[in-house]
Chains A and B, each alone.
Chain A
Amino acid sequence: MADRTFTDEELVAFLDGEEEHAPMSAIRAALKRDPVVQQRLDALRIDTQAVADGFATLLEQNRHAPETPVAPPARGFGVPVMAMAASLALAIGLGAGTYLNHKAQPGWLDYVAAYQALYSTETLAHIQQDAVAQQAELDRVAVAIGKMLTPAELDVLSGAEYKRAQVLNFNDKPLIQLTFLTDDGDPLALCIIRSDKGRSARPELSQMEGMSAAVWGQSGYEYLLIGGQDNAQIERYAEAFSEAEI
């Protein structure tokens, strides 16, 4: 006997115990008398426990968990909570950093710093693009802020490799993020946004989100270089970029 009573959707809802969305008792009754319903149900049956168990292994990957900026020692996390401290440093860095260390209204610098805090070595380590692909990517992001760049201009830091470019947005204003990975595995980002604030061309050093940072301005753009904890390195790189008028 052909069974036209139930849709596949209803049978699935029945299997899932979604009582609101399936005529539960009608299906139960039909199962007793109609083998076709049973066959259709079987054709929709899967081992949902195996699905859940299979995906559970993905939770253990633990790859690319947000980068946890090293909390200044003064914060004094105790040894027993070290494991937690590592993960909470992120939250504290973002929270306290944004609200206490900086001005009340977070600007693009805070936004980028918070974003950078989520980067880990692994975020960038796998990225290997040839010059052609890098140029194509730079051409694409360059449009966002009207600044043309070449991989050769960027890959000039000794001890850090240029990795990739992407467009981010702050308050509907595009900014570009150029990422580098240092030989020590620190992810760095050079972020550029259009701005007429007239910030000095001389890099100004600071600490943001527990990372070393430098900010400067040049012909209608603002720059932020951020990442790692090596102030001298950031200063050196910032000066290199500033002098090259990237």
Chain B
Amino acid sequence: MKFWRRQTSHDIVRDGVVAVFPRLWRYSLTLTGRAEGADDLAQAACLRAIEQADRFEVGTDLAKWMFRIAHNLWISELRKTAVRTGGGLVAIEDADLRDLKPGPEAALLNREVMVAVLRLPEAQRATVVLVYVEGYAYREAAEILDIPIGTVMSRLASARATISRMFEHEKGTRHGR
């Protein structure tokens, strides 16, 4: 049973994929900008993760590793197809978001903010989601995106400036950070 020897990382990946999937799908939606594209990307990333499970370092963050896989897949393969078929780099349209089940009504502002983030340029929205939604430190986001930390910071600055302008009227009532 020669496979038992390296079973640990395989085990962790296999067992972890399902738990990570909702977050992976969300990140995939952020990258692809389309719900359909998110399905393809998230599923392809799961498969790639399982294939390459022996490269996963036991004890490290599985979600982060899978985000990186999704990101690389998106850059290297799927984005090309998406661009060719007219998807991908275009801003998210309302139609794509209408499919998504709405949350409670009290969350209307949250939803507006989410939509605003999803309409940012791809590089910015991916960075915003990794840092403000997934809670990764700049350094970790830089690793996932394979960019310098300075680039993470400038993307966040641009994104923040845009979103801040859009929601200026809300500032009296909500606390920004």
Which residues of A come within 8 Å of B, CB atoms?
Answer: 7-13, 15-16, 18, 21, 42-66, 87-88, 90-92, 94-95, 99, 104, 111, 114-115, 118-119, 122-123, 126-127, 140, 166
Contact = CB atoms under 8 A, between A and B. Distances in A.
Contact of A64 (B25, B50, B84): B25
Given A57-B111, A111-B51, A118-B47, A126 B157 contact: no
Interface residues of B, number: 66
Contacts of B164: 42-46
A43 B18 CA distance: 40
Q: Is the interface of A mostly helix, strand, loop or mixed?
A: helix
B58 interface: no
A9 B152 CA distance: 9
Contacts of B102: 57
Nearest to B106: A53
24 contacts: A12-B156, A12-B160, A15-B177, A16-B138, A16-B177, A44-B161, A45-B160, A47-B109, A47-B113, A47-B174, A47-B177, A54-B107, A57-B107, A58-B100, A58-B114, A61-B25, A63-B25, A65-B21, A65-B22, A66-B21, A88-B18, A114-B51, A118-B46, A118-B47
Contact of A46 (B10, B11, B153, B163): B163
Given A13-B138, A45-B164, A55 B114 contact: yes
Q: Is the interface of B mostly helix, strand, loop or mixed?
A: helix
